[in-house]
Structure 1
Amino acid sequence: MLRRLLFGSSLRIIAVIIVGTVAVAALMLSLAPEPESQEPPPQIPFAQTARVTAGSGAIPVFGSGTVRPSEEIDVAPQVGGKVVWVSPRFQSGGRVEAGQALFRIEEADYLYRAQEAEANVAASRVVFLQEQEQASIASAQYELYAERRGAGDPPSEASPLTLREPQLEAASAALSRDEARLEEAKLALSRTQVTAPFDGFVREESVDPGQIVNPGQPVGRLFASAAVEVVVPLSDADAALVPGLWGLEAGDGARDVTARVIAQYGEATYAWDGYVDRGESSVDAQTRTIDVIVRVPGPFEASQEAQSGAVGGAPPLLVGKFVDVEIEGLSPQDYFQIPRAALQPGNEVWTVENEGVVSIVPVQVLQRANDEAFVTGALRGGQAVITGGLQFATEGMRVQTASGSSR
C-alpha cells in the first residue's frame, strides 16, 4: 500500500515538471523579438564572355574536296598486232616518264610495208625523171620546128600533149603519192612502240606479251604527276570571298590566289601549297554549291610542311585522298574575329559594356570557320561578347561575368 502511494506521488511530480517546462518555453518564445524582414537580392544572370579581335589581312575560306588528276588518258595503240614486249613499269602503280616505251607490237609486217613503199618511191622517181627528160626534149624540138617555119607564117602554140606536160604532171603526182605512202608506212612502223606522253603514274593496265591488240583498243590508263586538282564545293557566300574568281582563266598558270591543301596520314598532318585555277561556271543542281578548282603543283614530292610529328617520312598527295583546303580570301579594311559561339540567331552579337549592360549588335557574317566567325559591324577590338550562359538577352539588361560581379 505504501509503495502505491509513493509511485503515484512520483508521477504527479514528473507531470508538474513537464508542464512547467512547456510553459516556460512558450513564455520565452512569446517574449522573443520579431526578425527584421529583408527583400531578396536581385537575380542577375551569369554570362560567359570572350574578346573581339580586330581582323587584319586576308580572310581564309575553308573547304574540302577529293584529289583528282589534272591530266588522265587511256592508253591505246594506233596500230594493231601482237604484243611482243611490255615494260616492267607499265603496271598498276608504276611510275613512267615522258617518252618512255610502255609496250611494243610486232613490227615485221610494218617493216615490210615500209620497204615496199621505198621501192615504189624509187620506181616512181625514175618514171618522173624520164618524163622530165622527155618533156625537155619535146620543148626543144618544138622550138626548132617553129624556127624552120620562117618568120612569115603566124606562130602557133604547141599543145600540152606535144610538150608532154600532162605526162610530167602524172609522173610527179605518182611520185608524191608513193612518197606519202612511204611516210605513212614509216609512221605506222614507229607506232608499233607505244610511249608515255607525260611523266605520270599507271592507274591500271590490261596487256601482256602475246596478246593481240586492235587500233584504238584501251589497254591501260595513265595520269600526270606534274599537278593534281582538288574540287572544292563552296557556297555562294564563300565563293564571293575568293578574289577575282570569275576572272581566272583555266590553265593560264596565274597563281595570284594562293591556297593550302591539308591531308591527314595516320597521326600526322601534312600541307601542300597550291593556287585557285578556276571556278566552274554552273551551280551544282543537287548541293547548290559552286565548284572551285584548286591546283597543286608537284603533289608527289614531299609535303612542304608537316604540322605534327610523323613516322616513316612524308607521303605524297595521293589521287583520291579527301583533303581540307584553305584559300586566301579577300582582305576587307574593317572586320572582326569573334568566337563562333558569340554569333547569335539572326546574325546578332550580344556585347557587354561597362557595369555589365548588354547591347545587341547586328553584324554581317563574312565567313564561318571551325571555332571562329569573321564579321563586320559596330564592334571594336577587345570588346567583350557573350558566348554562353544566356538563352536570350534584351537591350540594356545586366549580367555578371567572370571579371566582375556585374560584368
Structure 2
Amino acid sequence: MRLLLRIILPLPILALGFAVGWLAMHKWKAPEENLAPARSERPVQRAEVIPLERQDYQIMIRTRGVVQAKTETQLTPRISGRIESLHPNFQVGAFFKRGDILVSLDPTDSESQIISAEAQVARAEAALAQEEARAKQAELNWKDLGYTEKANDLVLRIPQLREAHANLKTAQAQLAEARRNKLYTKIVAPFDGCVRERLVGPGQSVGTNTQLGVIFATDYAEVRLPVSPKDLPYTPFQSQTTLAATPAIIRDGLTDHLEGDEQTWTAQLIRSEGVIDDTSRELFLIARIPDPYGLQSGLPPLRIGQPVLAEVQGNLLEDVFVIPRETLRGAFETLLVDNETFKLLRFDIEPFWTDSENFVVTHELPENHSIVASRIPHAANGALIEIIEPESDEPPVEAAKGPEDTSTTEA
C-alpha cells in the first residue's frame, strides 16, 4: 500500500509542473516581434545648404604690427646754459604746436657775448679806417718823393689793409654767432607733436650733449606690416605704383570689441622695405596712418606703441568657387547635395587660396549641387538630405495687441 502511494502521489505534482511550463512557453511568452526592436530604414537627414556657384573673391591679407612714429626727435640744446623755464605742455603725453618754445635757457651769457662782439666790431672798423688812411698817406708820400715807378704793396701798406679787413670780418662773424646763440636759448618745436619723454627741469644746467627730452610728430604714424612669402604671389605688391595705391584697414589689436562696435582706421601703403627678413623670411610693408591721435578728425586715438591688426587688399580672384571653411568635413573634403535627387556627395577639393574663413577653388565642381552648411551625423555617399531653410537670428515679431478697453458703461 505504501509503495503504491509513493508511486501515485508524485504524478499530480509532475502533471502540475508540466502544465505550468507549457503555459509559460505558450501563453505567457511575449511575441518575438515585440521583443526585438523594429528595423526600418535610416530617417532622412535635414540640413541647410549654400548655393554652389562661381563668383569673384577679393583677397584680403591679414597681418599685424605696432604703431610707430613717422618722425621722432631727441631734443638737445645747441649751446650750454641754465634752464630758465619750460613750456606748460612740455610734459609726457602733452601735445604742442610747431613754433612753441618748449625750453628757455637763461639769455644772460648770450647777451654779454653780443655786447662784447659789438665792441670788437667797433674796434675792427676803427682799425680799418685808420689803416685805410695810412695807405692813402703812404701813396701820397711816395709821389711827393718824386719816384716815377709804381710803389710796391709794402710801401702802400696793402698787407696791413688786408689784415684790417680780415679782422673786421672776424668781428662781424663773432657778432652774428653771438646773436644766433641768443636765439638758441629758445628751443622751439620743429613740428606739431607730442612729448614722449622729458628729462630735465627748471634751473638745471645743460650742455650741448644734454638730452632734454624725446618728441614725435602727430601728423602721421606708421605701421610695419609683415607679409609671408606664400601671400606675395596673390598681392599687388610687386611694383611701387600698385603698392602706393593699396589701402589698408587698421583695427585695434590690444582690446576686444563687440561685433559691430569695432573702430577702424584707414591707412595707405607707401613703400616696402625691399628686402626679405633673414629670420622670418617675410617682406615688410610700411603703412601710413594720417592723424593717428584724432586731433583733426575726432576719431579715437591710435597711440604710438599700440598693437594693431591690419587687412590689406590683395588681388581679385575672378570666376572661382568660395567654400566656407566651417562647412568642410575633413581637411580638404566638402559635402555636396544634388539639387534634384537630394543625394549626398563627398567631394575632395584642391584650394587655390585659403584664409581663416574660406577655401577658394578654381577647378571644376559638380554642377547643380549645393554645399551642405549643417553638421550631419551620417555623411555617407548617396544619403538622402532634406533641405531646410536657415534659421533667422531675429526673434519672431509678435502681433500687435490693441489697447484694452478700460471704459465702463453706465446703466
Is the shorter-chain TM-score for this pair beyond 0.5, marking a shared fold? yes
How many residue pairs get aligned? The number is 368
Partners of 2:48 and 2:387 within 8 A in 1: no
Of 160, 185, 190, 2:183 maps to 190
The 2-side partners of 1:344 and 1:159 are apart by 108
**One-letter amino acid of the counterpart of residue 215, structure 2:** L
Match of 1:108 in 2: 108
Shift of 1:113: 0.8
| Distance in 1 separating the partners of 2:14 and 2:132 | 168
Matched, 1:316 2:318: no
The one of 276, 281, 284 aligned to 2:277 = 284
In structure 1, what residue type is equivalent to 2:169?
A: S
Q: Cα distance, 1:50 vs. partner? A: 4.2
Which of 285, 289, 297 is equivalent to 1:296?
289
Tell me if structure 2 keeps the 8 A contact 1:67–1:229: yes
Amino acid at match of 1:110: S
Question: CA 1:389/1:77 → structure 2, altered by over 3 Å: closer, same or farther?
Answer: same
- Aligned: 1:262 with 2:262: no
The structural deviation recorded for 1:214 is: 1.5
Taking a change above 3 Å as real, the CA distance of residues 235 and 98 of structure 1, as seen in their structure-2 partners, is: same
> Counterpart of 2:283 in structure 1: which amino acid?
I
Structure 2 length-normalised TM: 0.73
- After superposition, give the CA deviation of every residue in 1:87-116 in whole Å (9 maximum; x if it has no partner): 221111111111111121111111101111
CA distance in 2, matches of 1:302, 1:64: 24
Who is 2:16 aligned against?
14
Q: Secondary structure in 1 aligned to 2:117? A: helix
Change (3 A) 1:14 1:237: same
One-letter amino acid of the structure 1 residue matched with residue 196 of structure 2 = R
The answer for the alignment partner of 1:153 in structure 2 is: none
Q: State the distance in 1 between where 2:329 and 2:20 align.
A: 68
- Change over 3 Å in CA distance of 1:51–1:279 after alignment to 2: farther
Greater Cα offset, 40-49 or 325-334? 40-49
8 Å CA contact 1:242, 1:257 repeated in 2 = no
* Residue identity opposite 1:218 in structure 2: Q
1:112-127 aligned within 5 A: 112-127=112-127
In 2 relative to 1, CA 243–22 (structure 1 residues): closer, same or farther, beyond 3 Å?
closer
1:334 CA displacement: 3.9
Residues 229-240 of structure 1 correspond to what in structure 2 (within 5 A)? 229-240=222-233
Q: SS state of the match for residue 211, structure 2?
A: coil
2: CA distance, partners of 1:344 / 1:8 = 72
User: What amino acid maps onto 2:350 in structure 1?
Assistant: P
SS at 1:331's partner residue? Answer: strand
Question: Secondary structure of 1:67's partner?
Answer: strand
Q: Check 1:132–1:43 CA distance in 2 against 1; reply closer, same or farther (3 A cut).
A: farther
Distance in 2 between residues matched to 1:132 and 1:383, nearest whole Å: 107
Preserved CA contact (<8 Å) 2:70 2:221 = yes
Q: What is the one-letter code of the residue matched to 2:351?
A: V
Q: Secondary structure at the match of 1:237?
A: coil
CA RMSD of aligned residues (A): 4.4
Amino acid at match of 1:222: I
Cα 1:349–1:178 change in 2 (3 A) is farther
Deviation for aligned residue 1:143 = 7.5
Specify the SS of the correspondent of 2:387: coil
3-state secondary structure, aligned to 1:362: coil
Q: Secondary structure at the match of 2:274?
A: strand
- Asked if structure 2 preserves the Cα contact closer than 8 Å seen for 1:256 and 1:275, the reply is yes
State the one-letter code of the partner of 2:352.
Q
| SS, match of residue 117 in structure 1 | helix
Gaps of 5+ in 2: 33-38, 389-411
Residue 207 of structure 1: which of 186, 200, 210 is its match? 200
Contact 2:44 2:385 (8 Å CA) reproduced: no
For 2:346 and 2:290, the matched residues in 1 are separated by 51
C-alpha distance in structure 1 between counterparts of 2:92 and 2:368, whole Å: 57
Match of 1:340 among 316, 325, 339: 325
Write the mapping of 1:150-189 to structure 2, written as runs, cut at 5 A.
Answer: 156-189=149-182
1:243 counterpart SS class: coil
Q: Secondary structure at the match of 1:277?
A: strand
CA contact (8 A) 2:225 2:284 kept: yes
CA contact (8 A) 2:333 2:347 kept: no
Question: What pairs up with 1:14-53 in 2 under 5 angstroms?
Answer: 14-15=16-17, 17-18=19-20, 21=23, 50-52=50-52
Task: Give how far 1:51 is off.
Answer: 4.3
Structure 2 residue aligned with 1:96: 96
Taking the aligned partners of 1:203 and 1:124, their CA distance within structure 2 comes to 48
How far apart, in 2, do the equivalents of 1:62 and 1:382 lie?
A: 33
Pairs within 5 Å for 1:362-373: 362-365=350-353, 367-369=354-356, 371-373=357-359
The SS at the match of 2:316 is coil
Return the alpha-carbon distance in structure 1 between the equivalents of residues 188 and 345 of structure 2: 75
TM-score (norm 1): 0.73
Distance in structure 2 (CA, Å) of the matches to 1:381 and 1:113: 92
Q: Secondary structure at the match of 1:269?
A: coil
Structure 1 distance, partners of 2:57, 2:137, is 87
Deviation at 1:343, TM superposition (A): 6.7
CA distance in 2, matches of 1:113, 1:323: 53
Q: 1:331 aligns with which of 305, 312, 316?
A: 316
Structure 1 unaligned spans of 5+: 33-38, 150-155, 305-312
Give the direction of change, closer, same or farther, for the CA distance of 1:323–1:116 in structure 2 (3 Å limit).
same
Partner of 1:152: none
